[in-house]
Amino acid sequence: MTKKTTRNFRPATQLVHGGTLRSPFGETSEAIFLTQGFVYDSAEAAEARFKGEEPGFIYSRYANPTTDMFEKRMCVLEGAEDARATASGMAAVAAAILCQVRAGDHVLAARALFGSCRYVIETLLPKYGVDFTLIDGSKIENWEQAIRPNTKALFLESPTNPTLEVVDIAKVAAIANSVGAKLIVDNVFATPLFQKPLELGAHIVVYSATKHIDGQGRCLGGVILSDKEWIDENLHDYFRHTGPGLSPFNAWTLLKGLETLPLRVHQQTDSAGKLADFLAEHPNVARVIYPGRADHPQADIIAKQMSGGSTLIAFDLKGGKKAAFAFENALQVILISNNLGDSKSLITHPATTTHKNLSDEGRAEAGITDGMLRLSVGLEDVNDLIEDIEVALKAAG
Ligand SMILES: *Cc1c(COP(=O)(O)O)cnc(C)c1O
């Protein structure tokens, strides 16, 4: 039984009620259906369900009631027709790309990607005869020049990790359409609240739900959203037969995460804006990159395609690696971790952790300097965060 899912409620309401599937017990909270299989009232009923003539669940690798609630709630939030929830963000990225390509196809992607996304494109695709090109995605002419008649999929992240550059999604979507290719947007950094890639013309959106959607350090998860036709023709069978699906327990955790997503993301973004301004005024800071500030190099694109700033800030300390390490080690509240989107504030030194596998040249190209830190702002009192940063900046000299 579903309720309150058809009307056009505002996002905060949909994130509490959307997709709810109540059992005959009428439970308030979404139930966790920890079952692999389902039983049928008769042989005829089993036959009808397998033929797709009657609705219902068959096997949890295909679909599960708790996972289905998470998928439906994500669809309502994103404005997508259909979705598949996956065990991690990488399972979502890999499935979204692999399910639609074959040998001889070409994939075009922006170079500034999460490391594992680069592995899928640069290392995995060529093993199966799929060609790829990586470009600086911030320049629209690079997409125009690199697109080919056999380009099947385009992939980008915006804002990017860790330098928070943005890509003009509507323009890239138009370039994809010119050859009938599909644009996949990894929307993790923007969150589903601040950027709607499908409305901008993208065909497929992927998330690591591990980040803001859980946002409380509890579980991994991911989701792929698109129109029903693309999912039926490309992802449906791939998903059933390769088994990247999300566990029902994690789906339940993520459903609870969605209920508080707007509260957390708005609060974290509000604090991030204050911290970005504080950092920008400090003499030890060479540069601050924050999508909510007027001095962001692509503020015009941000105004066009994002409705909010970010929970993340990138900043460059004048003293290079030595200063960055001294800064991290002096922090009392903010924790050193490569995760992001969490209720706990987390700091990363990309050059020596998340992006250490890039060559020196690759890092320079990506704008990742030795003094750069990426801060994911949490739910602590912003004044405690400012004081923490103030002390650490002194220690960084
Ligand atoms: C974390 C992340 C992923 C991978 O997600 P997992 O849940 O860790 O597998 C993919 N893309 C971006 C932008 C991410 O931040």
Last residue of a domain, one of 259, 275, 298: 259
CA distance 194 to 199: 12
- Could you give the residue ranges of the DSSP H alpha helices within 80-215? 89-98, 115-119, 125-127, 140-146, 169-178, 191-194
Residue 4 pLDDT greater than 50, yes or no = no
Q: Residue 5 falls within a domain, yes or no? A: no
Q: Whose CA is nearest to atom 7 of ligand 1?
A: 89
Q: Residue 3 falls within a domain, yes or no? A: no
315 and 254 share one domain: no
Asked whether 114 lines ligand 1 (CB < 6 A), one says yes
237-255 pLDDT per residue, tens:
999 999 999 999 999 999 9
Q: What is the DSSP letter of 350?
A: G
Q: Among 211, 310, 311, 355, which residue has the most ligand 1 atoms within 8 Å of its CB, making it the best to mutate?
A: 211
122-135 pLDDT per residue, tens:
999 999 999 999 99
254 and 315 share one domain: no
254 and 271 share one domain: no
**Closest ligand 1 atom to the C-alpha of 161?**
13
Q: Whose CA is nearest to atom 8 of ligand 1?
A: 89
Distances (CA, A) of 195 to 113, 201, 229: 18, 12, 23
Q: Whose CA is nearest to atom 5 of ligand 1?
A: 89
Q: Does the bond joining 262 to the residue before it have cis omega, within 30 degrees of 0?
A: no
Asked whether 90 lines ligand 1 (CB < 6 A), one says yes
180 and 297 share one domain: no
The string over 273-301, giving b where at least 16 C-beta atoms fall within 10 Å of a residue's C-beta and e elsewhere, is bebbebbbebebbebbbbbbbeebebeeb
CATH number of the domain to which 387 belongs: 3.90.1150.10
CB atoms under 10 Å from CB of 85, counted, come to: 31
CA 163 distance to own-chain centroid? 15
166-219 pLDDT per residue, tens:
999 999 999 999 999 999 999 999 999 999 999 999 999 999 999 999 999 999
Distances (CA, A) of 86 to 122, 259, 320, 390: 22, 19, 39, 40
Q: What six digits make up the tokens of 381?
A: 């009192």
115 and 66 share one domain: yes
pLDDT of the residue at 7? 65
* 3 state SS of 183: strand
**Residue 249 domain boundaries:** 11-259
User: How many distinct structural domains can be found in the chain?
Assistant: 2
Distances (CA, A) of 137 to 144, 208, 246: 10, 21, 31
**Closest ligand 1 atom to the C-alpha of 91?**
9
Q: What six digits make up the tokens of 305?
A: 């395609």
Q: Whose CA is nearest to atom 15 of ligand 1?
A: 188
Q: What six digits make up the tokens of 291?
A: 């999508």
166 and 235 share one domain: yes
84 and 202 share one domain: yes
Q: Residue 323 falls within a domain, yes or no? A: yes
Q: Residue 87 falls within a domain, yes or no? A: yes
CATH number of the domain to which 22 belongs: 3.40.640.10
Q: Residue 338 falls within a domain, yes or no? A: yes
* 3 state SS of 373: strand
Distances (CA, A) of 210 to 87, 115, 131, 164, 306: 9, 16, 30, 19, 21
Last residue of a domain, one of 235, 259, 283: 259
pLDDT of the residue at 6? 54
Q: What six digits make up the tokens of 167?
A: 């890509």
362 and 388 share one domain: yes
279-322 pLDDT per residue, tens:
999 999 999 999 999 999 999 999 999 999 999 999 999 999 99
Q: Residue 39 falls within a domain, yes or no? A: yes
Q: What six digits make up the tokens of 200?
A: 């901008």
Last residue of a domain, one of 234, 259, 284: 259
Asked whether 60 lines ligand 1 (CB < 6 A), one says no
* 3 state SS of 128: coil
Q: What six digits make up the tokens of 107?
A: 């994939």
The angle subtended at Cα 56 by Cα 55 and Cα 62, nearest 5°, is 115
Percent of the chain beyond pLDDT 90?
A: 93
Q: Look up the pTM and report it.
A: 0.96
241 and 284 share one domain: no
Q: Residue 4 falls within a domain, yes or no? A: no
Q: For all residues of the chain together, what is the average pLDDT?
A: 96
209 and 97 share one domain: yes
- Give residue 42 CA to ligand 1 midpoint distance, Å: 43
276 and 241 share one domain: no
Asked whether 210 lines ligand 1 (CB < 6 A), one says yes
Q: Among 208, 254, 338, 346, which residue has the most ligand 1 atoms within 8 Å of its CB, making it the best to mutate?
A: 208
- Give residue 90 CA to ligand 1 midpoint distance, Å: 6
294 and 361 share one domain: yes
Q: Residue 2 falls within a domain, yes or no? A: no
73-109 pLDDT per residue, tens:
999 999 999 999 999 999 999 999 999 999 999 999 9
